Structure formats: C-alpha cells, structure tokens
Structure 1
C-alpha cells in the first residue's frame, strides 16, 4: 500500500507534487497580473525550462515527482470526478444556467489532458469556438475570461498540505486562488493513487464557505516529533489554525501546534518566505520579520478536539522545547541590509529541504547560499529568474506527499 505520511520538514523527501506552469502564464498580462497575485508577467518558455530543472533536481535526489496537470487529467478520466469538477468549476451560479451548460458541454467533449489544461490555465471568450444563445458572449469582451487562469497553482505548497498521517485541503484566502482547492479535492477523492487509501482529511474537504477560517500551506511547517509550526500571515487566520489544530488533536496526529503572528504584508506572504527548516536544529530566517517580539501561542488538545491555548514567550524557545534540541541555529539572510532585503524578496529563505542539511534554492541568492554553505548546508542551485517573479521559491513550488520523520 502506498504510504501518505509527512513526518517532518527535513527527513528524506520521497514523493512530491509540483505544477509546471504553462497555459496560465500565457494568459498573464500587465493589466491582469496583479489581480491574479503576480507582480509581473513571466517569460513562459523560460519559466517552464526553469521548472523542468527544478523537477530534475528532485528526481536526481531520488524523489518521485507528480505533476499536477497529469494527476488532474487522470482524475478527469473518472466520470464522477469529471461531472463534479465541471459542475463546480463551471457552475450555473458563476456563468448563468444557459451559458454554463453550453460551456460544460463543450468542455466535456475535450480530451482529458486538454480539459485539465483549460481548468488550470483558463479560457477566454475569444477561445470558445461555440456560439451560445445566452446573453453572456455579447456582454463580455473577447479577452475577458470565462474560466480565469490559475497561475498560482505553480505554488502547490499552499493549496493542500500533508501533516503527519493526513492532509488539509486548504480554503484559500484570495478569490484568485479559491478554485484551486477543488482540483485537489477531486484528486484526493478520485485519483487512483489516492482513492480509497487510508489517510485522514483534516479540514477543507467539504464544499461550503469557510468564512474566516482560511489556511495556506506556506504557513504550515511540520517540524516533526508531533509538533507543527504555523504562521498567521496575511492569508492564514487564527480561526483557520484552530480548526486545523482541533482536527490534528482529534485524530491523534499531533501533540502541539505552535502558532506565531506574522506581519500582514506581501513580502512575507507566508511563514516559509521568512523561515524554513533545514536540519533538525537549523532554520533559515529573515531577521527583519522573524523578530524576538513576535507573538506566539502553544495549542494543545486531545481526542475530543478541544483546543487549549497558552501564550508563549520567545517562539525560538517554544520550538527548541518541541524538538528537544539544545540551542537552535538560525541562519539569517545574507549580505548587507539591501542585499538581504533583495534576496528575501527573491525567496532566499524559501528553500526546500530534500534530506537533513541538503536544500534546493535559487542560484541567484548568492549571499544567502554562501552563508548556508558555511553552516554546512548543501545548496542544490536551480535557476529562478522567471519563476521567482511569482514570489515563491522551491518550498512554495512543492507539496510533499511522503517524507520521513526525524
């Protein structure tokens, strides 16, 4: 039986889900990129090549790489999954019953791989080859989207996160990303790799409004030994953290959740953009944000799902206690204050650990990579001139499905 289990941030990585961005990036323009949460438009070919280099680096480390578009296409081969996805992603409420039905009929006849590409990458009115009797086509411009592209799917880390023996299928904070979650719901429900397997769905599997309880995987660090570190950022709320914590305790999967408050601004969109785990006692941190005075709480509970909250002092001490290590070694972003700020913006702190002390990071962050090297951390460099414009590094672009504990 395949084993879905993520026991840490640093144990040997075995299986990972990534998404090679293609169609969605071709729909990214200077006039729509901000609404789609990108700061810039990317060179599509180059971004794809950089992503291939990332995937190859993972394979070279013995990691099995799953591609989101393939998983989605395989899921669409299951009739029930295809019906559910079409009715959810192209709903009557979104497009009006007449037009939604015509669009669904058109999409339902496409090959699965092509349909997956449209669901992930969007569809404009100009790209729809059929004429509907609804009012919609004459009301909208040819360049408007019937199905909006999902360029942020590139960051598979956020949409779902595996924590010990289960997965949280995350309700996303921003409208530009909320549809992503349905793709993961369908994959984990119907894809042959996951269907009927023995894993827990902690949170987010139901179709409902999660209101203020949003959580994104970039804020969730499975630091190991039954502890989980979660950042409350611009996109993960205390309400979301309590929901996930309650479910973790109810299923006996975690002993403690350490929640820390982050500033709510874009440069530290998620905890993993300012702090990642590289070796049992070693974290990379961006000191401008990860400061001593950040508020921090310890959440514990039991099988009843009750959550007990206790305010902690310095978060580093809470982590040391949870991991049972002496003093944590914090490697700060490299260079002078200008270089450090620039490298953090280019995801110098957002590295993906493939095994203890071996991480994947962007080659452009020379000052920080040099510091990692001096601290005995091996950096496997990948190109990121285009990918990095999406404001996410190797950790953001990966969703571990199986990883050893510590």
Structure 2
C-alpha cells in the first residue's frame, strides 16, 4: 500500500514495559474537529473545555511531535527545525500536508486511515459502517464516496466537510490514542468505549488494526473483548453496569513488565471487561499475572494513568491521596472503621496469577504494588522512590493531578515528557534529582549539538500546555506505544 513515494512496511510490534526506550508509537495531531466543539455539547463529547485549535496545535502539540521525532526518528527533523519554525503557516505535522514527515516511528493514525481508504473495498465498507453508526442519509453516504482518501479521512475523524459543514459530531478525544488500544507483549488489545461519543473512534481503530499492512503479521494477535452474551437484553440504564457490561479504555491498561499487566476498573472500565481480559490473556499465555486496580468512579480520575505512571525502573509519580499517605489519613478517621470495604470511593488492588485465578492476593496500597513491580518484576536493586503530585501539599496534589501531573510518557528509562504547568510536582522532581527543561530549549540544545537523546538522563521535558491541559489528558494519554526496547 503506497502513499506518494512512501511505502509502509510491516514492522515489529512489542511492548513489555512502561519505561523501555520508545521506538515506535501512534499519535494523532489535533484536527479541525477540535475547533468545532461547542459548549452545549462538550460534556456529551467527553471534552472538558473549549480550546483554541491553532494555539493547541502549533504552540503546544507540535513541540510534542518534534520531541518524539528527535528521540525516535531524528533524521526526519535534525537540522531542519529553523526551516520548519520559520514558516508559521506550514502545517508540517499533519498527514495531509505535502511536506508531512512520514515517519515509520512516529505515526499519525490519520495517515494510516488515509492509506487503507485507498482500497475501494475497505473504503466502501467503512463509509457504510460509519454512516450506519451516525444515521446518515443515503445522499450524504453517496457524497462521501466522491472524496479522495486524504480528504475522506479528515471528514471521518473531524465530522466536517472541507466547506466546514458538519455532518456528525467531531472526535475531539482522538488525540488520546492510548484509549483505542494497547500493545501487550506482541498482542494488541482493542478497546470497548464506555461512552457513545467514542463509538466512531473504536470503529475506525478496528479497521486500521485489521486492515493496515503495518499490522498484517499481528492480525491473529488482535484481542477483542466479548460482550455479555445476553447484553442486548440488559436495560438501557445499565450501560455502565460493572458486572454485566464490557467496557474498557487503554488509559486503564498498563504493560508494566513482560509477565505483568495492570488493569484499572474506573468510570470507563468495568470489572466484567477486566475479567474477560484476564481470561483471554491467560488462555493465550500472553502474561501470567494481572493486577486489578479498582479506583473511585470519579471524573477527577477517569483512568489509572491519571493517578500514577512510571518514570524510571525505580521511580513512580502518583497522587498521594490515593496512595499510602491518603490511606493513613483515612485510617485516622474513626468513620473508616465503620465504612464497608467496598464503598464506591474506596481503592482496592487484587492480583491474579495464571492457574490460581480463584486465589487472588489483595495488595494494601499503590506504593506496595509499584514497589513490587520495580523490585520483583523488573529486577531493580535500587530503592524504589515515589514523587507525589503537587509534592503532596494541600491543595496542590489534587489541583495538579487534574492537569495531568501524574500522566507522563517515558521516552526512555528516566526521561519523561509532561505538562509545564504543574509547579509543585516539578519542584518534587527537581528535589528527586531530575532536570526540568522546556521542550523548546531542549530542541535548541539538540540542534546545536549540546545534548543528545541517546545520552540524556533523569530529565522531565516540559511541554507547553495552556490549551492541551483543557482537554483532560496528558502525554501518556496522547500516545499508543507500538514498540519499546526490552529492559
């Protein structure tokens, strides 16, 4: 399958940790649909706020892409930054631009969609399926067939025609590629979104993973989560029922070690789905240990990667109120002894091992779980350290967690990228021996030869975030790693 002079080849897919050097990932640069979100529908479309698209794209997200390219595919960008930055109108980072960088390591999902739409059979099926989901008229369906693959991919994602006419709702959450799926060793787990607003995302992702040549060697390793066999008989008001509905999003799944997967049960991922994933992974011998982290069903948290992520083999960032310090505070409250164990706001951690599914082990708190991962699964001999959101100071822990202080993407062991606005958390990182550096300054150092991604250590790269943070997702959410080096 070709696009111009570029040919996408089947490439290795394997992820067995959160901090092995990142080699390939899926992203989605902000599209015109984000500029179409209206206040009255923002909550329904699962977007937290109204953003300024051009600022988000050119002043913030583009720095994310530049950093990713410098680490994963430096030949695409080294020595070219001055030329790119000089042309403010140049949309170098969108797949529809003639100068799009076309990297085999930093891959925009829109680019993959464009390539599969070049196939007439796939194009026909996809248009028909989307129009059925969106309840389009036959006239609109016929009109969609007239667009070339480049424009059609933009329409299917943004929901709007080139003349700005809106056909259906945009997909503002598509920038959070983590949620559409997750690579578990060499298998791909596809999501089942909890909210109707993300149905089209899941549909597009399904076609891309099953039909794009990039994934052709892995089609028999794609895992789809089954529904309850009688799901169609369940009352409509039970769409998020933990014990009967199968919904899961990638932000609730972490591949922390070759043998160990974490699944969060949250407002978006049900216990029923987690149970199905455990059964499938054990049956296929993909992992032999799965830990369920049940977090409060609150919009504040949404997924487990909003309350903790890994920074280094022996370093984690997390929200203290859901960790050991918060647990100790609750225990000092006499009401803790009277409350039932399974109150909705409680955090519980249960670990299941293959062959011993009926004998799960309960883990007392997040720090104990994360310490065991670093020490036992990753073989870390150094002391395990925790960096807390807001430096564990009230009210900054909760404030900064809301703007994704705990949602960091590790580019390599000890080098992460995240938002620049969480001052107290950044102070905690500096106290822990990390350098904090603005993305623009680090890129300048790379261009001048004063720094090198290969030798960079213990660094937090600061991404501009005035608009990005309004979307309620950080750098971890904005990435779907396809390949990491083995630790």
Q: TM-score per shorter chain, which class? A: 0.7 to 0.9
Cα distance in 1, alignment partners of residues 276 and 290 from structure 2? 11
Q: Does 1:111 align with 2:148?
A: yes
Matches within 5 A, 1:278-357: 278-290=311-323, 291-292=326-327, 294-301=347-354, 307-308=357-358, 310-315=360-365, 316-323=367-374, 324=376, 325=380, 328-335=384-391, 336-357=393-414
Q: CA deviation at 1:368?
A: 0.9
How far apart, CA to CA, are the structure 1 residues paired with 2:427 and 2:34?
A: 32
Residues 181 and 56 of structure 1, relative CA distance in 2, 3 Å threshold: same
How far 1:332 moved relative to its partner?
A: 0.4
Are 1:181 and 2:202 counterparts? yes
Q: How does 1:2-401 map to 2 (within 5 A)?
A: 2-49=11-58, 50-62=60-72, 64-91=105-132, 94-95=134-135, 99=137, 101-123=138-160, 146-197=167-218, 200-204=221-225, 212-290=245-323, 291-292=326-327, 294-301=347-354, 307-308=357-358, 310-315=360-365, 316-323=367-374, 324=376, 325=380, 328-335=384-391, 336-376=393-433, 377-401=458-482
Whether the aligned pair in 2 keeps the contact of 1:172 and 1:178 (CA below 8 Å) is yes
Deviation at 1:261, TM superposition (A): 1.0
How far the C-alpha of 1:278 sits from its partner, in A, is 1.0
Aligned equivalents of 1:89, 1:333: Cα separation in 2: 41
Deviation string, structure 1 residues 34-80 (Cα, Å, up to 9, x no partner): 11111211001011111111011111112521011111111111223
> Larger Cα Rg: Structure 1 or Structure 2?
2
SS in 1 for 2:251: helix
Deviation at 1:307, TM superposition (A): 4.3
Aligned-residue offset at 1:355? 0.6
Task: Please give the per-residue CA displacement for 1:318-350, whole angstroms capped at 9, x wherever unaligned.
Answer: 443344156532210125312222211111110
Superposition TM-score, scaled by structure 1 size: 0.88
Cα distance, 1:78–1:213 mapped onto 2, change above 3 Å: same
TM-score of the superposed pair, with normalisation by structure 2 = 0.74
Distance in 2 (alpha carbons) for counterparts of 1:295 and 1:28 = 36
CA RMSD, 1 decimal? 2.4
Structure 1 residue 127 displacement after superposition:
5.4
Equivalent-residue separation in structure 2 for 1:51 and 1:333 (angstroms): 23
Moved more, 373-382 or 223-232: 373-382
Q: 2-side partners of 1:268 and 1:175: how far apart?
A: 20
How many angstroms apart in 1 are the aligned matches of 2:462 and 2:369?
31
* Superposed CA offset, 1:172-198 (max 9, x none): 001111211111111111112122446
Give 1:262 shift.
Answer: 0.4
CA distance in structure 2 between the aligned counterparts of 1:257 and 1:346, rounded to whole angstroms: 28
Deviation at 1:94, TM superposition (A): 4.5
Segment of structure 1 superposing worse, 6-15 or 369-378: 369-378
Hey, what does 1:136 align to over in structure 2? none
- Per the alignment, do residues 216 and 156 of structure 1 end up closer, same or farther by CA in structure 2, a change over 3 Å counting? same
CA contact (8 A) 1:185 1:205 kept: no
Contact 2:72 / 2:106 at 8 angstroms: preserved in 1? no
1:134 maps to: none
Secondary structure at the aligned position of 1:16 is classed as: strand
**CA pair 94-155 structure 1, distance change in 2 beyond 3 A:** closer
Q: Within 1, Cα distance between the matches of 2:295 and 2:384?
A: 20
- Secondary structure at the aligned position of 1:277 is classed as strand
Q: Which residues of structure 1 form unaligned runs of 5+?
A: 129-144
**Is the 1:286–1:349 contact (alpha carbons within 8 Å) kept by the matching residues of 2?**
yes
Counting matched residue pairs gives 382
Q: Is contact 2:187–2:218 with CA below 8 Å preserved after alignment? A: no
Taking a change above 3 Å as real, the CA distance of residues 367 and 318 of structure 1, as seen in their structure-2 partners, is closer
